[in-house]
């Protein structure tokens, strides 16, 4: 007996025609998503290096706050990926704790955590990158400077940025492209991420992180953007909100400096205990 396709797509067209149409649509959205992500990456190229002082505030579900201070240094490498070094300076019980990240193309980035209380450098294994970074809502994976090729992409839609912006007035009248990106690394803690990107200046203003079960886990938001050297946009404030636990981490940036003369030696493992 002949079986009929009773789906909406099947009622509109035949199998071969529909398959070709869907395949073309998928290809188009993948290419558009990749193109938008590519513009975001290119928009930030050429900064050489950067340094910034930050205040980190950790909020419990009840609203209790813990404050920390840290420095972040980044060395640009357009071929292999940007290296980064994070060092805590306050309070005393975490002073000197440092995280060094060396990116790796098409593989898990290499990361080392320095623990001053035991004078020990601990390598962060690829299976542990989903773990919380020093008790914050950022994971070790979140603290890496990701490369364009670390994901596959898909374009979703375009909507006014102010619908989701942490500071609606800041993005009033601006339009955001919304894309998905899917981690290539099989050890990633995420099944996908959904990015809202201001299509005028290619600024990422929100990222939704979905866990391995494909449930919404965290929401990253950025606001207070300033333009440095007439090219590089940086937010004054970013927040990572865990929607499953109610906890949040806020980072506020101060004193961002570009092209300060950092070298590869500043990002060697020997720099962790300095």
pLDDT averaged over every residue in the chain: 88
> Per-residue pLDDT for 23 more than 80?
no
Q: What is the mean pLDDT of residues 22-38?
A: 80
pLDDT category of residue 127 using cuts at 50, 70 and 90: confident
**Left (φ > 0), alpha (ψ -120 to 50) or beta: where does 127 sit?**
alpha
Compute the distance between CA of residue 156 and CA of residue 194 in angstroms, rounded to an integer: 9
pTM beyond 0.85: the answer is yes
pLDDT category of residue 107 using cuts at 50, 70 and 90: low
Q: What is the mean pLDDT of residues 213-230?
A: 95
Could you tell me which residue, 4 or 236, shows the higher pLDDT?
236
The predicted-structure confidence for 93-102, as pLDDT tens digits, reads as follows 999 999 999 9
Compute the distance between CA of residue 59 and CA of residue 274 in angstroms, rounded to an integer: 30
Position 145 scores a pLDDT of 82
> Per-residue pLDDT for 245 more than 90?
yes
pLDDT category of residue 5 using cuts at 50, 70 and 90: very low
Q: What is the mean pLDDT of residues 146-163?
A: 92
Strand partners, 150: none
The predicted-structure confidence for 69-106, as pLDDT tens digits, reads as follows 999 999 998 887 899 999 999 999 999 999 999 987 76
pLDDT category of residue 7 using cuts at 50, 70 and 90: very low
The predicted-structure confidence for 162-186, as pLDDT tens digits, reads as follows 998 888 889 999 999 999 999 998 8
Any idea which of 7-21, 131-145, 146-160 has the lowest mean pLDDT? 7-21
Q: At the top level of CATH, which class does the domain 43-273 belong to?
A: mainly beta
Closest CA to 185 of 137, 140, 118: 140
The predicted-structure confidence for 131-142, as pLDDT tens digits, reads as follows 999 999 999 999
Kindly report the backbone phi and psi dihedral angles of residue 250, in degrees, each rounded to the nearest multiple of 5, phi listed first.
-115, 130
Q: What is the mean pLDDT of residues 210-221?
A: 97
> Per-residue pLDDT for 272 more than 90?
no
- % of the chain beyond a pLDDT of 90: 71
Position 11 scores a pLDDT of 41
Any idea which of 79-83, 151-155, 225-229 has the lowest mean pLDDT? 79-83
Taking CA atoms, 94 is separated from 68, 87, 139, 270, in Å, by 8, 9, 17, 19
Closest CA to 36 of 120, 151, 126: 151
Compute the distance between CA of residue 249 and CA of residue 262 in angstroms, rounded to an integer: 28
Q: What is the mean pLDDT of residues 18-35?
A: 69
């Amino acid at each position: 007996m002949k079986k009929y396709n009773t789906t909406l797509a099947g009622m509109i067209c035949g199998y071969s025609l529909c398959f070709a149409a869907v395949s073309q649509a998928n290809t188009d959205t993948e290419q558009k998503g990749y193109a938008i992500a590519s513009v975001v990456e290119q928009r930030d190229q050429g900064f050489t290096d950067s340094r910034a002082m930050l205040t980190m505030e950790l909020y419990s579900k009840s609203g209790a706050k813990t404050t920390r201070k840290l420095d972040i240094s980044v060395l640009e490498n357009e071929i292999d990926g940007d290296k980064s070094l994070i060092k805590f300076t306050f309070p005393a019980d975490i002073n000197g704790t440092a995280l060094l990240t060396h990116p790796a193309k098409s593989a898990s980035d290499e990361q080392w955590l320095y623990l001053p209380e035991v004078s020990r450098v601990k390598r962060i294994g690829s299976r542990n990158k989903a773990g919380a970074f020093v008790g914050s809502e950022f994971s070790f994976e979140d603290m890496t400077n990701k490369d364009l090729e670390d994901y596959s992409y898909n374009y979703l839609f375009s909507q006014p940025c102010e619908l989701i912006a942490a500071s609606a007035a800041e993005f009033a009248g601006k339009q955001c492209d919304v894309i998905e990106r899917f981690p290539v690394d099989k050890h990633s803690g995420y099944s996908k991420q959904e990015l809202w990107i201001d299509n005028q200046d290619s600024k990422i203003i929100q990222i939704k992180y979905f866990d391995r079960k494909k449930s919404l886990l965290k929401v990253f938001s950025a606001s207070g953007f300033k333009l440095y050297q007439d090219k590089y946009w940086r937010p004054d404030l970013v927040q990572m909100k865990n929607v499953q636990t109610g906890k949040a981490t806020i980072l506020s940036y101060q004193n961002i400096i570009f092209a300060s003369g950092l070298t590869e030696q500043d990002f060697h493992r020997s720099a962790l205990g300095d």
